[in-house]
Amino acid sequence: MEIRELTAADLPALMQLENALFGSEAWKETPFRSELEGKFTYYFGAFDGGLIGYAGLHSVPASFTSDIQTLAIATAHQGHGLGRTLAKKLIAKAFALGAETVFLEVRVDNQTAINLYASLGFEQIDIRKNYYQPSGTDAMVMKLVLDQPIVLGVESSCDETGIGIVKGNRLLANALHSSMDEHAKFGGVVPEVAARAHLEALQPTIAQALKEANLTMSQIDAIAVANGPGLAGALMVGIGAAKALAIAHNLPIYAVNHLVGHVGADVLENGTVSLPTIALLVSGGHTSLLLVRDLLDDVELLGETIDDAAGEAFDKVARVLGLPYPGGPQIDRLAETGNPKAIRFPRGLSLPKDMEAHRFDFSFSGLKTAVARHVEKASDGGLEISKPDVAASFREAVVDVLLTKAINACELHGVKRLLLGGGVVANARLRQVAKIRCGEADIQLRIPRFSLCTDNGAMIASIGAQSIMAGRPASGIGFGAESTLEVTKVQTL
């Protein structure tokens, strides 16, 4: 016997079984088709030769509830536990989708089904009179409460110490301590300074997260920690802490990929990450273009920066213009009054010759040098430059190349979705141009709130929770920091 998800192609077999079982009360073909094709419905069929049973679930993202729509077993196959198998399949699916409650209606005279659901933990909460027509039979409404896992996530890959707590798909806390100010005088993140700051921020940030969530450590079900990619010395602080937290309360620990965390952040905003999606992650440490078909199983790196990260380029150009660190907000402000077309700065890796080897890769170091040359040349010649024009033209070049490549990736892979993540998402022009270009190309754009875009512990907790909800095993306790962890490795076992 095989159990698989049903599609509209299975409709004839489904209708045949539905009519045989329910006669005058059977669902009609048209509504059943829309059930199978629905965006938020999940139907499973059991096959042994032909279709011998089916069951369906309805679950709207961010509603935190699921409904069992139907469950039917061919007469000849009843009484062998197939109903239980399919019901459990639906419950597992509801759990994985983040449901905290599952509802269903069942005929009050169907004692076999009522017993089955009761044995799975469902309880009667209501009776609906004359629910089934034409017979006028009453329906019993039943409810199952699912305990979604409470996961504490630890993020320490760069200059933010993040401790987040989630319950399934729900965000409970997102405490953050940034050491950004301590890096300001150096013009960029100094790894040793970041690692020192993590150690100092650890205890207060854990305490703050627990307070925000109104929880104690003994109520946490699992620990998740980012073990890469990132600064090794910084990652190691988070890993040391996370392992001790797990051991203290005998909890499973999940070592998860920081970059995939940025994608998983949208679950906390949206109830799900609509897949497949292209993800453009842009920060001071990363500039990566991903194709995500499955959050836990299928993340592909399409391209990344071959030199500076985009955020790093903002910092360096800010410095050239005599602006303080971090450069992003400074340049953004200055650029507001500048002309983005005043100077045509280069778009790295965008020439026809680059398309073969670097179609979706980025390069910002040449751009930074071009800006520096422009400024130095003017100053050597005793000429006044318009800093707003330089800032606006530079910003335009970065935004243009990021979005041109991201949208090309959407087009090439036939994926009409784009998710933005990373600290550079704070850039007003990036968000503005993303909205315009995605609108033109009919691409659905997702930008989580800023506190979930920058590095944070909640996104790490979210990947941990998704792993548990999907029934994945925990990591062992012997993993280390992997500063160049590949994005394909979502969890380190």
Chain residues that interact with other proteins, rule: CB under 8 A? 185-187, 190, 192-193, 195-196, 198-200, 202-203, 206-207, 217, 232-233, 235-250, 253, 319-320, 369, 372-373, 376-377, 380, 477-481
What amino acid is encoded at 154 in this protein?
V
Cα(86)–Cα(43) distance, integer angstroms: 10
Min dist CB 368 to other proteins, Å, is 8
Cβ proximity to other proteins: between 29 and 182 the closer is 182
Min dist CB 248 to other proteins, Å, is 4
Min dist CB 287 to other proteins, Å, is 21
Q: What is the bridge-based pairing of β-strands 41-48 and 2-5?
A: antiparallel
Contact 4, 47 (CB under 8 A): yes
Cβ proximity to other proteins: between 202 and 447 the closer is 202
Cα(220)–Cα(432) distance, integer angstroms: 39
At 309 the three-state DSSP class reads coil
C-alpha closest to that of 423 among 401, 451, 445, 396: 451
CA distances (Å), 414 to each of 274, 275, 358, 407, in order? 14, 12, 19, 10
Residue 475 DSSP label:
B
Min dist CB 311 to other proteins, Å, is 18
C-alpha closest to that of 280 among 176, 155, 434: 434
Min dist CB 30 to other proteins, Å, is 56
Cβ proximity to other proteins: between 117 and 479 the closer is 479
Cβ proximity to other proteins: between 223 and 407 the closer is 223
Cα(325)–Cα(186) distance, integer angstroms: 8
Min dist CB 369 to other proteins, Å, is 5
Cβ proximity to other proteins: between 322 and 471 the closer is 322
Min dist CB 141 to other proteins, Å, is 41
Tokens of 461: 């907790």
Cα(54)–Cα(107) distance, integer angstroms: 17
Cβ proximity to other proteins: between 352 and 478 the closer is 478
Cβ proximity to other proteins: between 23 and 478 the closer is 478
C-alpha closest to that of 230 among 310, 157, 153: 157
Contact 29, 50 (CB under 8 A): no
